[in-house]
Amino acid sequence: MLWLSPELEKNIMADGEAAYPNECCGIILGEINDDGVKNAKRTVAISNSREDSEQYHRFLITPEDMLRAEQTARAAKLEVIGFYHSHPDHPSAPSGYDKDHALPFYSYVIVSVDNGKAQVLTSWELTDDRIDFLQENMNKGGNN
């Protein structure tokens, strides 16, 4: 389960709208409790580093951006617990490409953005065998 505050939900949706018609992307920092529940505390917007001609349906977080996010997390005594990106004019469900580039454990939040307006926000986890994404329970208005 992922706990996501209304503020963080708005941040992700605003990033999706600002990037439209391209995909936005970012990293989610937070804590994991003893039951394995991920409590999001902060989002880190990342500039989509994918080549311009591909940004409408792909995103890229560089190793340097990932390192900076990990350093930010460590300084705040948090962990990288997931990633987010937008799907311009497509549903908020992971694509085959998303699955091929994901890792188990992390939460993958996707926001659909239709005609420039953020719509549906969902979260997904890749199974340990990397065969499928399962929709993750998400409590919007989490216990931050």
Half-sphere exposure (Cβ direction) of 74: Cα atoms closer than 13 Å: 6
H helices present in the chain, as ranges? 6-19, 63-75, 96-100
Return the exposure string of 21-31: e unless at least 16 CB atoms fall within 10 Å of the residue's CB, then b: ebbbbbbbbbe
Question: How many CB atoms within 10 Å of residue 133?
Answer: 20
> The CATH number of the domain where 113 resides is what?
3.40.140.10
pTM tops 0.85: yes
d(CA 99, CA 87): 14
Q: Is the pLDDT of residue 142 over 90?
A: no
User: pLDDT-derived band of residue 81, with 50, 70 and 90 as boundaries?
Assistant: very high
User: pLDDT-derived band of residue 87, with 50, 70 and 90 as boundaries?
Assistant: very high
Residue ranges making up the domain that contains 134: 2-140
Domain count, the chain: 1
Q: Angle at CA 37, nearest 5°, toward 31 and 40?
A: 45
